[in-house]
Chains A and B, each alone.
Chain A
Amino acid sequence: MKPYIIRRSLLDGFCFSVICSAFYFYLPEAVLNTEMNFKLQIILFLCELILGALLSSVLYRGRITTLGAKIFQPDFNPGVAEAKNFYRTFWGWQFLVTLLILFIIGIFKTRFSFFELLNIDGLQGAQRLFLGMASPNWQVLPQAISNIIETIFMAFIATTLATPVAFVLSFLAAKNVMKGRMAFIIYLFLRTILNLVRSIEALVWAIIFSVWVGIGPFAGMLALMMHSIASLTKQYSEIVESVNEGPIEGIQSCGANKIQTIWYAIVPQVILPFISFTVYRWDINVRMATIIGLVGGGGIGTMLIKYQGQAMWAEVGTIIFVIAVVVWLMDQASAVLREALK
């Protein structure tokens, strides 16, 4: 089966099962949430998915454009489809109804409540918090500064260690460098690993490393480094893939080997964007480092979570102030630097 048919069927099937689930609202909550019925729900969902997919192909035969066909089918009925306004099309309504039902389900699932938002007790709590933050306790300022310096250094070391690793890996993860059978296998392998590493959030890496090497800045730094290696490699290798082939052939025709070709034909073309991405990564890492501190990665985040736990809002206010200033400064500095590097 062609991939676009599978995609179309999946999307239309999903829309159909979403539309079906609108009818579940008539069922009492107790019926929906019991253990036994969970299996039933899965089976029901799969049935709806298949039914929807079948319906999709029936509609397709009847030359009706479903959302799946609109998005995935190559050249489906192009002339007719373009002529109509979207609210006069089948796929338009399919999209709107699906979105509406998903939105309603979402409101329930997130327990959205104006009552909680406007509850007096809650409001007073928030007021205390804001007042505390608005009158920071400057006594903890020296400690906050020394902690944010730790955070900045965490980000700095993570970026510095990640950069050379990502530099080397980026060429191995670039299609235009990895030509040939064996090279392509390495390329695919590396891409897969990198995507895996990148799909694990830095916050999760921090939890892993704080178990591994103990809570503190070292764990935070390692977490940032892992994430940075994967992200930088991806960004770098995309730049490598977009280089001008001319100089590469020029150097190759001189009898240069692979490393010489990379060094003389590719590196000069990519070095400025590489530096620019590295600066930006440091900037991102400083922000991430503060968050990572919350789960035991050391630095200002750890300090923040400590005072927050004791509801010491004036101290929290100081810390937030320090973070805001530093993040703003980093942001400005990195923007100026990257602009200059263009």
Chain B
Amino acid sequence: MTLEGWVPELSESLTLAEVIDLAFDYRGNTTVVKVDGTEAKGYIFNRSSDAPEPFIQMFDVAGNGPIKILYSEIRNIKFTGRDMAAGNSWQAWLERKEREKAEKAARLGTGPA
């Protein structure tokens, strides 16, 4: 399962702090929508929820940073970038390799009928 493309709808059962936690675990770029209406795009690599003023840290899409944004400045986070962890499991690779083997065998006419 991937969160790629998700635009969270914050509610009582989905808080901003929870979305920030999910964005911190997400292996892709996100778009941080700020309270002032501006947006910051990039990779969130850190969050500190128990600091006196909770914050996130990110590198923007050009790799500049770290950029620090306070929780209080964030309205929402959109999961806009590609999930780099998706489909890269060992199982996926084994399945791909099996598929390739079967295709090769079929091409050579040695595969199962």
A and B form one complex: no
